[in-house]
Amino acid sequence: MYVDAHCHLERATYGDELPAILARARLAGLSHCVAVGASHGAAGAREAVALAAAHEFVYAAVGVHPHDAARATADDEAVVADLLGRPKVVALGEIGLDYHYEFAPPDVQRALFRRLLVLGRERDVPVMLHVREAHADALACLDEIGLPARGGVVHCFTAGPREAAAYLERGLYLSIPGVITFKNAEPLRAAVRAAPLARLLLETDSPYLAPIPQRGKRNEPAFLAFTAAAVGAVCGQSGDEIGRVTSDNARRLFGWPA
């Protein structure tokens, strides 16, 4: 069995195909998916919560993406805070910093990130972090504010061993995407090779970053087995064993029943 620890399952992406996408995920052996609602203001968060309510194996994360930091309102943050108390909402995220595109000024991103880290600590809910080309500032914010007691995960981790060690030292999990199958992902493979299996999760980040041999297609949770196999090849384990271990890790982090 597998757990997709981070996927975007908006109807704006999949439309009427969404029921088939979910059915294929189950057929592919997924026991749980975490649908992330962190875009389009509060609308994305509400959609993820509604999807989780409608499907037994879907759980939700709610947050405000750093891309939206400049246009996020106090009302958006209030909605996210309210939704954290809903059934099957298992994480605050994705939240963090993204300096690759800088859709929002870095100082605005950092201010939002700090506020949301405070919220996560107040509610003691795991945080799901988005960090791209901003590791030093993200770590500084984490050290300033601290993590919730229940910890968190760096989603779509694609950096190398040094960055991995910094997050692991702070008690975070690393969620590994299909990027690990890419030819130019040796730094990521080195990070996974050095990391404890007990601190790894798997994700698709659907609809993005489809793994080889599905590269170029729209990603979906059913493709997670390719990522598990690639992690297994790095760690000297079978893909099935990686699926089992990372599923147990996800259950510990997100807190759903065994």
Q: Could you read off the pLDDT of 8-47 as tens digits, one per residue?
A: 999 999 999 999 999 999 999 999 999 999 988 889 999 9
Per residue in 71-102, pLDDT tens? 999 999 999 999 999 999 999 999 999 999 88
101: domain CATH number?
A: 3.20.20.140
* Sign of the torsion angle spanned by Cα atoms 122, 124, 130, 131: positive
Q: Are 30 and 222 in contact (CB under 8 A)?
A: yes
Distance CA 79, CA 151 (A): 22
Beta strands 152-154 and 200-202 are: unpaired
Cβ-based neighbours of 95, under 8 Å, separated by 6 or more: 38, 63, 64, 65, 66, 112, 113, 116, 117, 120, 127, 128, 129, 130
Q: Are 201 and 3 in contact (CB under 8 A)?
A: yes
Per residue in 97-144, pLDDT tens? 999 988 999 999 999 999 999 999 999 999 999 999 999 999 999 999
By C-alpha distance, which of 161, 229, 226 is closest to 196? 161
- Can you give the pLDDT at residue 222? 98
Number of C-beta neighbours around residue 87 at 10 A: 9
Query: DSSP strand E in the chain: where?
Result: 2-7, 30-37, 58-62, 89-98, 127-132, 152-154, 173-176, 200-202
Q: Which residues pair with 212 in a beta bridge?
A: none
Distance CA 179, CA 3 (A): 17
Q: How far is CA 26 from the centre of its chain?
A: 19
- Can you give the pLDDT at residue 41? 80
The yes-or-no verdict on residue 258 having pLDDT over 80 is no
Structure tokens at 12: 């704006």
Distance CA 223, CA 2 (A): 11
**DSSP 8-state assignment for residue 63:** -
Tokens 């990521």 — which residue? Answer: 188
Per the prediction, the chain carries an average pLDDT of 97
**Percentage of residues in the chain having pLDDT higher than 70:** 100
- Can you give the pLDDT at residue 102? 82
Q: Are 116 and 138 in contact (CB under 8 A)?
A: no
Residues of the domain holding 209: 2-254
**Domains: count for the chain:** 1
Tokens 């000297």 — which residue? Answer: 236
Structure tokens at 97: 């910093």
